[in-house]
């Protein structure tokens, strides 16, 4: 019960939710979360209590923010292009490997 | 624990015992007699996937197998019971012992039972000893630089299942112990790779980390593991992450670590995959000459040291 | 199930992590001096950095110092001793697992458990409440952790626990210690990575005054590899631009006001007082204790805690020679400490920096490090190295 792991709410009974953490279900208390939580929502769990409801939009927003950070390097920057090239090469190698594994 | 054993018990003991491999090797004619003994005190005595009876047989059969002795001549089984122990529970354990012996192709050839007063022992203690002959002894100290390190299946199954049962962690996903006798699997492995197999050890208490530390230290090599190559069942991974426990530290009772010369690695992998107990076998790392005794893990983001686990695994908050 | 796995992977994508690490290297180099020192103050950040091997991917010119952010490590010896004393007096004590082996002045809770004392390891305060409910004897919950964990204790106390449930509060509050570190003379810390989970509760607004007063930027960070790397990139950018700003890089969990409902519960039950943190002397308002209205549940007010008995025969207080505070401020190194590697070892830690698996002293000891920029290679680090080489073209 540590590290504030995010999980998906499966059921709710009074002030307790059954939450799915990547396939493992646990019971989590809801007294501390400041929004209404519904089955299907994601929550951040810490020592058995939900401390925050995480919205899908916020997750996508964060990922977009990281992409921005990477794109902020100027186009004239050769090194950044190098890195982007390496990222793409690694990504396609991964995709290739995954396809191969299937 | 190792320090305790070294300090208290090994002063004044013969050199062979001081080597502290999975079993003792005694030369008999042109062969080796492998002898091993183990006491089992697990709580709870029944857990998802097995019980202490199955564990006590599989544990000893596997210790023999890790030394290269895959055909046990027989096992002994000594039981110390707490007064009042339920008869039907005992019968269930005896049935487990019998079934597991059949799977391993061996029998209990001698046994003993004692009863102690209530409170003097916690439930029951089972001790099993095993003997087997082998032409070639495989030591846990035989790793060489360049060897591939293979694990025969998914890690953390047993320890996580027991921890969940013991602490009633209410994991609604099925966590099952992997407890099983491995001599059939190892026999196939040795037939396929022969002397290409340089070292073996089963990652029981202390998990893969503990076993690899011993193997690396004794052989004077380091081992570099790749995290994405380590086979682990999703519920075990999730449970370990939730509790903040490293899967490499969790006990296994139906898996083996095998060091193999690189040219034999693929052959061995194929043979393991063909066996029901080896379907998830994988190469998880390789041995290097530098920094002997070190275990490093490539996480995909960087590298870190794998430390030696130092006692009972505890869930972490931070 | 597949979408969860996919989402998780996005925050743990090694290719993006490598790209962020390279960007970090690039940004550090733009500052043009070495080393640049930043500090994180969260145990979960420590664990994430350790678990993913991120340290080997950080640029050599960037010092990411472990601050006093591991609640286990900074829980001072006398506080552990209080729990030990209660246990030795025959009272049942429930504790989080990570506190079990932390040394007090003379022993740990694990030691007294081996002596026969009743210690229950719990993973949630609600579990401790359940133990109390099922028993007729007193049960003292050893409440450790920062504000993120303290709110759970507060919620449990407000949830009408049985009368035999007591709390021994050793909870800590993070913002005051960031002040202390910033105020240390010769502190090299140029920016802070703030704890994402604590900020989920407190909000990032609490740092607005801080950045003005101490003239250092603060970036709130999450705990996945990408979260940490991205937050560091942002933090180093702010250092580069001399920007005294608070930036929230964990918007999926953190807002400016934070979780007001949880804050209300926290301050209903706790009040902040000054106290010692292991290795870092006095932190004003750094400790959380139960308010008077809760004295009926306060272990300190319901039991006599015989610390003298615990301290009898205790070894001399080597902790007085501990310089963890200076190490956390980036002023000294572990090798400057006369106890390091001698009396102070992972097996026998004196200060917080050695208790924590991510503590500076612990890392230096395990990796045999002699100076701040010891190279440990890795794929992300390879990208960094390439970036470094590129800069020298």
Q: Looking at this predicted complex, what is its ipTM?
A: 0.80
Q: Containing domain of residue B18, as a range?
A: 2-134
Are A3 and B318 in contact (CB < 8 Å)?
Answer: yes
Q: Which of B101, B134, B167 is the last residue of a domain?
A: B134
Task: Name the residue of chain C whose CA is nearest to B238's CA.
Answer: C5
Nearest CA in chain B to A2: B317
Rg of chain A over Cα atoms, rounded to whole angstroms, equals 19
> Among C58, C53, C83, which residue's Cα sits nearest to residue C388?
C58
Of A61, A69, A80, the CB nearest to C252: A61
Residue of C nearest to A71 (CA): C23
Note whether C232 and C193 are within 8 A (CB). Answer: yes
Asked if residues C9 and A23 have their Cβ atoms less than 8 Å apart, the reply is no
B172: CATH = 3.90.650.10
Q: What is the pLDDT of residue A91?
A: 45
Last residue of a domain, one of B100, B134, B168: B134
pLDDT of amino acid C349: 81
Provide the pLDDT for residue B149: 98
How far are the Cα atoms of C98, C102, C225 from residue C121, in angstroms, in the given order? 9, 13, 29
Neighbours of C167 (CB within 10 A): 27
Comparing alpha-carbon positions, the chain B residue that sits nearest to C146 is: B318
Q: Which of B242, B246, B247, B315 to mutate against chain A (most A CBs within 10 Å)?
A: B242
Q: Per the domain annotation, does B316 fall within a domain?
A: no
Other Cβ atoms within 10 Å of C213 Cβ, number: 12
From the list B133, B149, B161, B143, the residue with the least C-alpha distance to B250 is B161
Q: Are residues B125 and B81 in the same domain?
A: yes
Nearest-CA distance C59 → chain B (Å):
12
CB contact under 8 A, B242 and A23: no
Would you call B243 and A1 a contact, using CB atoms and an 8 Å cutoff?
yes
Question: What local confidence, expressed as pLDDT, does residue B249 receive?
Answer: 94
How many beta carbons lie within 10 A of that of residue A84, not counting itself?
Answer: 16
CATH number at residue B45: 3.30.1330.10
Cα-flanking dihedrals φ and ψ of residue B224, to 5°? -105, 115
Q: Which residue of A has its CA nearest to C229?
A: A66
Q: Of the candidates B134, B162, B196, which is a domain's last residue? A: B134
Inside any domain, residue B286: yes
The answer on B208 and B84 residing in a single domain is no
Count of B-C CB contacts under 8 Å? 91
Predicted confidence (pLDDT) per residue in C101-159, tens digit: 887 887 889 889 999 999 999 888 999 999 999 999 999 999 999 999 999 999 999 99
pLDDT of residue A93: 45
CB C140, CB C99: distance < 8 Å: no
Determine the Cα angle at C95 with ends C164 and C178, to 5°. 115
DSSP characters over C112-132: HHHTT--EEEESSHHHHHHHH
Cα atoms found within 13 Å of the Cα of residue B26, Cβ hemisphere only: 10
d(CA B3, CA C220): 43
Tell me which of B176, B238, B239, B316 to substitute to probe the interface with A (most A C-beta atoms closer than 10 Å): B238
Length of chain A: 102
Mean pLDDT of C292-318: 82
How far is A20 from chain C, CA to nearest CA, in Å? 9
The model's pTM is 0.81
Q: Do C152 and A32 touch (CB under 8 A)?
A: yes
Inform me whether the pLDDT recorded for C382 exceeds 60: no
- The band of C317, judged by pLDDT with boundaries at 50, 70 and 90, is low
Q: Is the pLDDT of residue C86 over 50?
A: yes
In a domain, residue B140? The reply is no
B315 domain-assigned: no
From C36, C62, C59, C55, select the one nearest C383 (Cα to Cα). C59
Q: Does B215 lie in the same domain as B130?
A: no
How do residues C219-265 score in pLDDT, each as one tens digit? 999 998 999 999 999 999 999 999 999 999 999 899 999 999 999 99
List the single residue in C with minimal CA-CA distance to B224: C378
d(CA A56, CA C75) in angstroms, rounded, equals 37
Q: Which of B6-15, B179-188, B306-315 has the highest mean pLDDT?
A: B179-188
Joined tokens for residue C353: 């920096």
* Any domain includes B82: yes
Separation between Cα atoms, residue C57 and residue B75, nearest integer Å: 52
Please tell me the distance from the alpha carbon of residue C159 to that of residue A50, in angstroms, as a whole number.
15
Residues of chain A with Cβ-Cβ distance to C96 below 8 Å are: 47
B158 plus B89 within the same structural domain: no
- Contact between chains at B243 and C123 (C-beta distance less than 8 A): yes
Residues from chain C contacting residue A79 (CB–CB below 8 Å): 22, 26, 387, 390-391
Does B142 reside within a domain?
no
- A18–B244 C-beta distance less than 8 A: no
Give domain status of residue B27, yes or no.
Answer: yes
Count of structural domains, chain B: 2
**Are B180 and B216 within one domain?**
yes
B168 and B73 together in one domain: no
Same domain, B119 and B267: no
B130 lies in the same domain as B155:
no
Specify the residue for token string 């519904």. Answer: A38
**Residues B108, B171 within the same domain:** no
CA C249, CA C194: separation in Å to the nearest integer?
10
- Give a yes or no: residue B313 inside a domain: no
Instruction: Please compute Rg for chain B using Cα positions.
Output: 19
pLDDT average, residue stretch C45-61: 87
* Residue C74 contacts residue B318 (beta carbons within 8 Å): no
- Same domain, yes or no: B42 and B129: yes
Question: CA of B300, closest CA in chain C: separation in Å?
Answer: 6
B172 and B260 share one domain: yes
Q: What is the pLDDT of residues A49-62, one digit of tens each?
A: 999 998 877 777 77
Query: DSSP letter at C138?
Result: -
Lowest mean pLDDT across B42-46, C1-5, C105-109, C126-130: C1-5
Would you say B79 and B52 are in contact if contact means Cβ atoms under 8 Å apart? no
Decide if C93 contacts C138 (C-beta within 8 A): no
Mean pLDDT of chain C: 85
The model's pLDDT over B150-172, given as tens digits with 9 standing for 90+, comes to 999 999 999 999 888 776 665 65
Residue pointed to by tokens 């007096």: C89
The percent of chain B in helix, strand and coil, each rounded to the nearest 5, is 35, 25, 35
Interface check A25 vs B, CB under 8 A: yes
Same-domain status, B127 and B186: no
Q: Mean pLDDT throughout B58-86?
A: 96
Q: Which backbone phi and psi does C85 adopt, to 5 degrees?
A: -60, -45
Mean pLDDT calculated for residue range B111-122: 92
Chain A residues whose beta carbon lies within 8 Å of the beta carbon of residue B242: 1-2, 5, 21, 24, 26
């Amino acid at each position: 019960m540590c590290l504030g792991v995010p999980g998906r709410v499966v059921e709710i009974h009074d002030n307790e939710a059954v939450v799915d953490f990547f396939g493992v279900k646990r019971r989590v208390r809801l007294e501390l979360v400041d929004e209404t939580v519904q089955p299907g929502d994601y929550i951040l769990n810490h020592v058995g209590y939900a401390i925050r409801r995480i919205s899908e939009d916020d997750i996508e927003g964060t990922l977009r923010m990281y992409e921005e950070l990477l794109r902020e390097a100027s186009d004239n920057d050769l090194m950044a292009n190098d890195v982007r090239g390496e990222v793409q090469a690694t990504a396609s190698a991964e995709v290739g490997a995954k396809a191969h594994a299937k | 624990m190792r320090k305790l054993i070294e300090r208290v018990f090994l002063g004044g003991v013969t050199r062979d015992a001081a080597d502290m491999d999975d079993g003792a090797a005694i030369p008999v004619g042109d062969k080796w007699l492998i002898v091993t003994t183990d006491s089992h005190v697990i709580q709870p005595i029944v857990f998802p996937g097995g019980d202490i009876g199955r564990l006590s047989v599989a544990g000893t059969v596997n210790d023999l197998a890790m030394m290269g002795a895959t055909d046990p001549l027989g096992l002994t089984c000594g039981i110390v019971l707490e007064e009042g122990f339920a008869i039907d529970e005992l019968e269930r354990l005896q049935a487990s012992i019998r079934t597991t012996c059949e799977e391993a192709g061996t029998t209990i050839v001698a046994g003993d039972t004692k009863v102690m007063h209530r409170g003097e022992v916690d439930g029951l203690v089972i001790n099993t000893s095993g003997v087997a002959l082998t032409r070639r002894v495989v030591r846990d100290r035989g790793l060489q630089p360049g060897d591939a390190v293979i694990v025969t299946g998914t890690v953390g199954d047993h320890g996580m299942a027991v921890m969940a049962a013991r602490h009633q962690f209410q994991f609604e996903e099925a966590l099952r112990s992997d407890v099983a006798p491995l001599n059939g699997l190892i026999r196939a492995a040795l037939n396929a790779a022969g002397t290409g197999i340089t070292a073996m050890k089963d990652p029981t208490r202390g998990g893969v980390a503990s076993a690899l530390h011993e193997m690396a230290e004794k052989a004077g090599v380091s081992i570099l593991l790749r995290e994405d190559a380590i086979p682990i069942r999703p519920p075990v991974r999730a449970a370990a992450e939730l509790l903040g426990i490293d899967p490499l530290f969790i006990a296994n009772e139906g898996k083996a670590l095998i060091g193999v010369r690189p040219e034999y690695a693929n052959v061995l992998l194929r043979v393991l995959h063909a066996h029901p107990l080896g379907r998830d076998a994988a190469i998880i790392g390789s041995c290097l000459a530098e920094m002997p005794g070190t275990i490093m893990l490539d996480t995909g983001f960087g590298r870190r040291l794998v430390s030696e686990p130092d006692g009972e695994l505890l869930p972490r908050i931070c | 199930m597949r979408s969860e796995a996919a989402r998780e992977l996005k925050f743990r994508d090694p290719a993006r992590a490598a790209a962020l690490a390279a960007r970090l290297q690039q940004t550090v180099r733009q500052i043009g001096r070495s080393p640049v020192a930043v500090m994180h103050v969260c145990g979960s950040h420590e664990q994430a950095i350790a678990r993913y091997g991120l340290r080997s991917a950080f640029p050599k010119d960037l010092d990411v110092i472990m601050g006093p952010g591991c609640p286990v490590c900074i829980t001072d010896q006398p506080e552990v001793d209080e729990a030990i004393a209660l246990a030795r007096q025959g009272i049942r004590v429930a504790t989080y697992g990570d506190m079990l082996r932390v040394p007090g002045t003379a022993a740990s809770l694990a030691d007294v458990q081996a002596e026969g004392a009743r210690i229950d390891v719990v993973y949630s305060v609600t579990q401790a409440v359940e133990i109390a409910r099922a028993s007729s004897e007193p049960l003292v919950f050893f409440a450790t952790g920062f504000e993120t964990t303290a709110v759970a204790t507060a919620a449990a106390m407000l949830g009408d626990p049985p009368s035999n449930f007591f709390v021994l509060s050793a909870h800590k509050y993070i913002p005051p210690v960031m002040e202390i570190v910033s105020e240390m003379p010769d502190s090299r810390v140029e920016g802070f990575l703030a704890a994402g989970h604590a900020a989920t509760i407190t909000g990032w607004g609490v740092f607005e005054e801080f950045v003005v007063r101490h003239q250092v930027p603060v970036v709130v960070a999450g705990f996945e590899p990408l979260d940490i790397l991205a937050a560091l990139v942002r933090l180093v950018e702010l250092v580069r631009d001399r920007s005294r700003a608070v930036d929230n890089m964990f918007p999926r969990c953190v807002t400016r006001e934070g979780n007001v409902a949880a804050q209300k519960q926290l301050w209903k039950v706790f009040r902040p007082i000054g106290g010692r943190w292991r290795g870092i002397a006095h932190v004003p308002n750094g400790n959380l204790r139960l308010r008077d209205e809760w004295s009926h549940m306060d272990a300190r007010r319901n039991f006599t805690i015989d610390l003298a008995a615990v301290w009898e025969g205790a070894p001399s207080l080597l902790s007085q020679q501990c310089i963890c505070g200076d190490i956390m401020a980036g002023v000294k190194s572990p090798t400057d400490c006369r106890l390091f590697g001698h009396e102070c070892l992972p097996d026998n830690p004196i200060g917080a920096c050695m208790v924590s698996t991510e503590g500076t002293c612990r890392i230096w000891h395990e990796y045999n490090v002699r100076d701040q920029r010891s190279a440990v290679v890795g794929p992300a680090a390879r990208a960094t190295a390439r970036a470094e080489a590129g800069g020298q073209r």
